[in-house]
Amino acid sequence: MIKEIAKGLAFTLKKMGTHPITVQWPEEQKPVSPRHRGRHILHRYDNGLERCIGCELCAAACPVGCIYVLAAENDPKSPISPGERYAERYEINLMRCIYCGYCAEACPTEAITLGPRFELADYRRERTVVTKAELLEAWPGFTEAQRPPSPVGAGADQTGREELDPGVRPRAAWAAQEKTLDTETAPLPGALGVPVDVPTVIEPRGTRRR
């Protein structure tokens, strides 16, 4: 009995000397998996056009009905998306969302994906319904002046139309990332050029002594 007690005490004493494995959130963050299903992101094409064409398939696929899409006709002169329609309003009730990812599955243009953000608590209920402005991928180079004339769009001349560069497709990006990169150092997926406010790299061990 004495031997076992001594053994146990020696073990705990040894563990006292080792470094804690706790990640000190929010100062430190672990990178999330490339397939993490966090808050949604509405993507753009590389030329700045929104991928979303306002088809509302995501809203139809949503098992809890937390997505609201109000589609509007594109102005052919300056279209917002390369389809006939675009989403004038796109809102997701994050309190109701179950993060199943069916919206992303249903989307024909891969416009919506579930991103890496998971810190979604808020003090005000109203703010948990996120609008299109919050969901939409930022596009730093985007201004009205630089906006390229779209080759597609309602009523546009279809002759001589070039095939639109689809950009990097999110699912292809995921697959590539999972194949090539170590998750510890991988840039976050779903990012796809999104300036994501979640740090991706853990502080080196030993610096977070507290």
Binding region for other proteins (CB under 8 A)? 5, 8-9, 11-13, 15-16, 18-22, 24, 210
Q: Which CB sits closer to other proteins, 19 or 125? A: 19
> C-beta of 18: minimal distance to other proteins in Å?
7
As measured in angstroms, the least distance from the Cβ of 200 to other proteins is 23
For other proteins, the closer of residues 15 and 125 by Cβ is: 15
As a whole number of angstroms, the distance between CA 3 and CA 72 comes to 78
Find the shortest distance in angstroms from Cβ 119 to other proteins: 17
How far is CA 154 from each of CA 32, 47, 165, rounded to the nearest angstrom? Answer: 40, 18, 18
Nearer to other proteins, 18 or 159 (CB): 18
Write the CB contacts of 191 (distance below 8 Å, at least 6 apart in sequence). 115, 116
Range list of H helices, the chain: 2-17, 57-61, 102-106, 132-135, 170-180
Instruction: Tell the smallest beta-carbon distance from residue 186 to other proteins (Å).
Output: 26
Q: Which helix (H) or strand (E) holds 166?
A: none
Kindly tell me which of 8 and 155 has the beta carbon lying closer to other proteins.
8
